[in-house]
Amino acid sequence: MSKKLFIETLGCAMNVRDSEHMIAELNAQEGYELTDDAREADLILINTCSVREKPVHKLFSELGVFNKLKKEGAKIGVSGCTASHLGKEIIKRAPYVNFVLGARNVSKIGEVLHRDKAVEVEIDYDESQFAFKDFRSSPYKAYINISIGCDKQCTFCIVPKTRGDEISIPADLIVAEARKAAQNGVKEIFLLGQNVNNYGRRFSGNHEKMNFTELLRRVSAVEGVERIRFTSPHPLHMDDEFIEEFARNPKICKSMHMPLQSGSSEILKAMKRGYTKEWFLNRAAKLRELVPDVSISTDIIVAFPGESDKDFEETLDVMREVRFEQVFSFKYSPRPLTEAEGFTDTVDSEVGSERLSRLQAFQDTILDEMKTTLLGKEVEVYFEELRNDGYVAGRSDNNVMIKVKGCEEWLGKIAKVKITEVSRLVQYGEILA
């Protein structure tokens, strides 16, 4: 009988891909198969996130629950950014944990499994050329890492300390992965990195020099690839060449994530983001000029140390001007190992909560207005999900989630759809052809 793996993945898309890598390695080396039931698992693995404080607290209570319900002899592992950050401290606080595997070390999963109390959290470790075995959680969409780590030093962010310096993965490996995925019927490639448009600044070996724009061209030349998405680009590196390629290349989906963080140039400076409010607005305007239908999403942090009412209003200004399709908003959470942890001009927590709700309410009004303009539009939808109420769902090129009446025969297909009903979260439509 095969062994069973229960895996929980928290945080960003890079963690989703890391989990796929670990599942693939465990399956190839040890014959593990996935289960949804932690009670029958031989290995329970939590792939963690440490970007904000709350999920880190939750980890330890969750580990306690898993320890109680696990079957006799089952192992528990902790991987990801909290593993990198807390290291052996995790085993100190939860002695029943069998191994700790950092975000930069996921290729070692097969090895740590057999070393009880192993802690592998080296952030200089280079797995940029490691050829992982194959596992994809979706038959329709392939996540592909293009770099590991991050070279930026945003003062609020713990990621460079948990994922280490940025190293680009050689383009021929990326293209080979895209080719393999396309041969297996995948139409959509999702390129991943903490800072994708910084691609090519550093490789670990002697590799062909290339920037992100050129990489996009290479991937789009792969036969069978019909759609390309990527996350996350950095607003600082959105040069004209990149935006022009984004606009011109029909395979690149017209949805862009532009993590703003704050609309105040003062706060952006304190965050060490490297751009101003004006630069951000200029890039967004250029994007809209070349791609009028582009959907832009963003990340915003409120109540960063020193944020005044006026600074906060500037963030709302940018939202008013850019009109984001989606805003991931967070209240600033001080993180260890970051520069901002030592900043003393903190914002009162209640003020932060109030700003966060104001911002979200404001976004809702913008979104409601934007959604009405979708009514009657014709878009191409790539169907990826079967809903149990007789619907199939998928995304348009510019990232609008649309449900239509239909069955599994539509899965994996791209069809023209007319939008017939709109709401904040989901749209309904009819298939035209």
Q: Does 197 bind ligand SAH (CB under 6 A)?
A: no
Among 79, 107, 195, 396, binds ligand F3S (CB under 6 A): 195
| Binding site partner of 160, from ligand SAH, ligand F3S, none, Cβ cut-off 5-8 A by kind | ligand F3S
From the list 258, 220, 229, the residue with the least C-alpha distance to 382 is: 229
Q: Does 303 bind ligand SAH (CB under 6 A)?
A: no
From the list 252, 327, 260, the residue with the least C-alpha distance to 294 is: 252
Q: Point out which span in 117-125, 154-162, 184-192, 362-370 binds ligand F3S (CB under 6 A).
A: 154-162
Dihedral angle at the C-alpha atoms of 402, 407, 413, 418, nearest 10 degrees? -40
Residue number with CB closer to ligand F3S (131 or 337): 337
From the list 424, 371, 433, the residue with the least C-alpha distance to 404 is: 433
Q: Does 17 bind ligand SAH (CB under 6 A)?
A: no
| Binding site partner of 276, from ligand F3S, ligand SAH, none, Cβ cut-off 5-8 A by kind | none
Check: CB of residue 166 under 8 Å from CB of residue 201. Answer: yes
| Binding site partner of 85, from ligand SAH, ligand F3S, none, Cβ cut-off 5-8 A by kind | none
Check: CB of residue 124 under 8 Å from CB of residue 103. Answer: no
| Binding site partner of 283, from ligand F3S, ligand SAH, none, Cβ cut-off 5-8 A by kind | none
Q: Footprint of ligand F3S on residues 112-151 (CB under 6 A)? A: 150
> Largest Cα–Cα distance in the chain?
63
Rounded Cα distance, 10 and 23, in Å: 15
Q: Point out which span in 21-29, 123-131, 152-160, 415-423 binds ligand F3S (CB under 6 A).
A: 152-160
Residue number with CB closer to ligand SAH (46 or 103): 103
Among 198, 232, 396, 398, binds ligand SAH (CB under 6 A): 232
From the list 164, 172, 180, the residue with the least C-alpha distance to 205 is: 172
Beta bridge partners of 417: 379, 431
Q: Footprint of ligand SAH on residues 327-356 (CB under 6 A)? A: 330, 332-333, 335
* CB-count burial class (<10 Å; 0-12, 13-18, 19+) for 344: exposed
Structure tokens at 218: 């290479």
Check: CB of residue 110 under 8 Å from CB of residue 26. Answer: yes
Residue number with CB closer to ligand SAH (149 or 429): 149
Among 9, 194, 297, 396, binds ligand F3S (CB under 6 A): 194
Residue with tokens 């490789």: 203
Structure tokens at 36: 């949804």
Buried b (16+ CB within 10 A) or exposed e, 130-151: eebeebbeeebbbbbbbbbbbe
Q: Footprint of ligand F3S on residues 200-259 (CB under 6 A)? A: 234
Total site size for ligand F3S, rule CB under 6 A = 9
Binding site for ligand F3S (CB under 6 A): 150, 152, 154, 157, 159-160, 194-195, 234
Binding site for ligand SAH (CB under 6 A): 12, 51-52, 156-157, 159, 194-195, 232, 259, 261, 299, 301, 330, 332-333, 335
